[in-house]
């Protein structure tokens, strides 16, 4: 069974750093891209970026380039999303999802349960 | 960058009614790269439709997708109580944009 399990909720202060994780199981982790999606309070879904754990090829949405870092450790089937200096506006739910290419289509077929990040002084 | 605009923002319907949700792209996109997701509070989003019209595994046949070019539609033929949620379209492209979402609420 394919699963993406994310790390637990975080409460941080502005200026602090943070790294959240997404561990995949039940499939060949290095063969599928993993994407990150943000949902700010009462807002819609926003695409942040994606990584291919096989070779760590990473693509960022222009809105998030330079704001976050996406990485992966294929030895433990885990993708990461990290911030070097959090802002209050980073308060959101963050989801990871597996991106699939099948039948000439791209889509996100499995999602993590989400990690709530709260940034407040 | 392609922008996806969903309408209406909110759809107020009763169980058993038909729901028609629209997703318009700012420029023509490949149908292969258009997907729909359902999102309920406290849950992860769920893939419903990929390639504009293919149902994902386990998705009931009351859900259907159609469209091409710039205009795409998600139809729920008869709303069940569990279908009240927010629905997003997404395009795989440079930015893999999501639409703003349509909330289907109980009338």
B1 touches chain A (CB under 8 A): yes
Q: Report how far apart, in Å, the C-alpha atoms of B14 and of each of B70, B78, B81, B88, B89 are.
A: 29, 9, 9, 20, 22
Q: Say if the Cβ atoms of A61 and B95 lie within 8 Å.
A: yes
Whole-number pLDDT of residue A74: 96
How is residue A101 written in tokens? 């290419």
Whole-number pLDDT of residue A7: 98
Nearest Cβ partner for A108 among B32, B47, B86? B47
Rounded to a whole number of angstroms, the distance from the CA of B38 to the nearest CA of chain A is 11
**Residues A22 and A34: beta-carbon distance below 8 Å:** yes
User: Counting every residue, how long is chain A?
Assistant: 121
Least Cα distance to B68 among B16, B14, B105, B32 occurs for B32
Per-residue pLDDT for A31 more than 90? Answer: yes
User: How many Cβ atoms are within 10 Å of A106's Cβ, its own excluded?
Assistant: 21
pLDDT in tens, A48-67: 999 999 999 999 999 999 99
Interface size between A and B, measured as CB pairs under 8 A: 70
Q: Among the listed ranges A70-74, A83-87, A103-107, B99-103, which one has the minimum average pLDDT value?
A: A103-107
> CA torsion A65→A69→A73→A78, rounded to 10°?
-90
Nearest Cβ partner for A109 among B39, B47, B51? B47
Whole-number pLDDT of residue A1: 96
Q: What mean pLDDT do residues A70-83 have?
A: 98
Per-residue pLDDT for A8 more than 90? Answer: yes
- Low-confidence stretches of chain B (pLDDT < 70) are 94-95
Q: Say if the Cβ atoms of A109 and B56 lie within 8 Å.
A: yes
Chain B window 6-45: which residues touch A at a Cβ cutoff of 8 Å? 32-33, 35, 37, 39, 44-45
Whole-number pLDDT of residue B94: 64
């Amino acid at each position: 069974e394919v699963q993406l399990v994310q790390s637990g909720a975080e409460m941080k202060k502005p200026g602090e750093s943070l790294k959240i994780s997404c561990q995949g199981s039940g499939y060949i982790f290095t063969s599928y891209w993993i994407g990150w999606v943000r949902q700010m309070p009462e807002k819609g879904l926003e695409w942040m970026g994606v990584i291919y754990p096989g070779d760590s090829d990473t693509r960022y949405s222009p809105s998030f380039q330079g704001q976050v870092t996406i990485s992966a450790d294929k030895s433990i089937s885990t993708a990461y999303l990290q911030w070097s200096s959090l802002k209050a506006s980073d308060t959101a739910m963050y989801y990871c999802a597996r991106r699939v290419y099948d039948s000439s289509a791209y889509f996100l077929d499995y999602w993590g349960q989400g990690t709530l990040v709260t940034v407040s002084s | 960058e392609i922008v996806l605009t969903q309408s209406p923002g909110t759809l107020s319907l009763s169980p058993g009614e038909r729901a028609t949700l629209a997703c318009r792209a700012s420029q023509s996109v490949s149908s292969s790269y258009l997907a729909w997701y359902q999102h309920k509070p406290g849950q992860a989003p769920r893939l419903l439709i990929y390639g504009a019209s293919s149902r994902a595994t386990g998705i009931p046949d009351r859900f259907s997708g159609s469209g091409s070019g710039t205009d795409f539609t998600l139809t729920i033929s008869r709303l069940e109580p569990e279908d009240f949620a927010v629905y997003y379209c997404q395009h795989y492209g440079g930015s893999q944009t999501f639409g703003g979402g349509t909330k289907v609420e109980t009338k």
